[in-house]
Amino acid sequence: VSVDGFSGYSRALYANWLWHRPLQLLVDAGEGLSLALGTSVFSVSVVAITHGHSDHVLGLPGFVAARRFGKGATAKPYTILYPEGSPGVTTMRESIAGLWPGVDFPVTWVPLVHGSRHALGSKRTLEAFAVVHATAEPSFGVRVIEDRRRLKAEFAAVPQAVVERLARQHGRDHVMEHYPHVIMAHSGDAMPIDRSLIDRADVLVHDATFLEPTDRREAIHASSREVFDLARDARVRTLILHHLSIRYDRPSALATLRHQLSASGFQGDAWLLDEAAFVNLR
């Protein structure tokens, strides 16, 4: 099953990963990843690890092994982006080195800090941003931005023919401006992320471990109620919630999510990724 090019798996504390085939981008690498991806392991160009908690990194050894020893393009290079200084990712790299001593893997490991950018093809850029989550593990969200052009606001009411003449006279940049369009943003595990990062994003994938802010004891995970409001305020097109706590009975949690969604006034599509299923919340 896939929504907007995404497939994935989410079970908090067990395994979380999300695969976006059009961008050849994998976000996180929970257990079971390489089995679920099958031959698609060879389509992955970039793996972005949001943080080093076990449910987001335990699939890394299996993934690099499938890419190196499986049946397919085993020499094809790929990149793993990870939070600089992450204890969890360091542990996984040591496991990989210990399991397969002397083996060269065609992988480039690139540490991320807040604001790090990595090109995805020629038109798009992945950007890491710091989020509020764990204290022992540096934690990031990622967003993919595309450079787009639009008419400057001051020309909005000017007739088309006049705009075209001005562009011929003074050049296109006189009437047009560049702006970053957000193709997708992924919060990783996090408290609600900054709205300015996701203005009019095509897709927002956000932590919704809790249903209500009052259900949480520590300020390390968002609630669905907060995320619906965030998606509404940022005018996101498609929202995918993930990481819903296993404490919640599913039928009643879905009823609560649907009620919160309609009460929030968020107009976009809304889904819950629950284990391997995308559940439509409309």
Can you give the binding site for Zn ion, defined by CB under 5 A?
A: 53, 189
Is 41 or 80 the residue whose CB approaches Zn ion more closely?
Answer: 80
Nearest distance from C-beta of residue 24 to Zn ion, angstroms? 24
Supply 241's token pair. Answer: 């919630």
Residue-wise DSSP of the chain: --BTTEEEEEETTTEEEEEETTTTEEE---TTHHHHHGGGGGG--EEE-----HHHHTTHHHHHHHHHHSSS-TT--EEEEEETT-HHHHHHHHHHHHHSTTPPPSEEEEEE-TT-EEEETTTEEEEEEE-S--SSS--EEEEEEEEEEEE-GGGTTS-HHHHHHHHHHH-HHHHEEEEEEEEEEE--S-SPPPGGGGTT-SEEEEE--BSSGGG-SSTTS-BHHHHHHHHHHHT-SEEEEE---TTS-HHHHHHHHHHHHHHHT--SEEEEEEBTEEEE--
> Can you say whether the dihedral through the CA atoms of 204, 208, 212, 213 is positive or negative?
negative
Q: Report in angstroms how near the CB of residue 42 gets to Zn ion at its nearest.
A: 28
Residue closer to Zn ion by CB (options 54, 125) is 54
Minimum distance from residue 38 beta carbon to Zn ion (Å): 26
Choice between 84 and 199, CB closer to Zn ion: 84
Of residues 62 and 138, the one with the C-beta less far from Zn ion? 138
Dihedral pair phi/psi, residue 61, rounded to 5°: -60, -45
CB-CB contact of 38 with 48 (8 Å): no
Q: In this complex, which beta carbon is closest to Zn ion, that of residue 11 or of residue 53?
A: 53
State the minimum distance, in angstroms, from the CB of residue 270 to Zn ion. 23
For Zn ion, the closer CB: 175 or 191: 191
Q: Rounded to the nearest whole angstrom, what is the least distance from the CB of residue 141 to Zn ion in the complex?
A: 12
What is the closest distance, in whole angstroms, from the C-beta atom of residue 10 to Zn ion in the complex? 12
In the bound complex, what is the minimum distance in angstroms from residue 11's beta carbon to Zn ion? 13
Least separation, in Å, of the C-beta of 53 and Zn ion?
Answer: 4
Which of residues 67 and 133 has its CB atom nearest to Zn ion in the complex? 133
242: exposed, middle or buried (C-beta count within 10 Å: 0-12, 13-18, 19+)? buried
Instruction: Please say which residue, 189 or 226, places its beta carbon nearer to Zn ion.
Output: 189
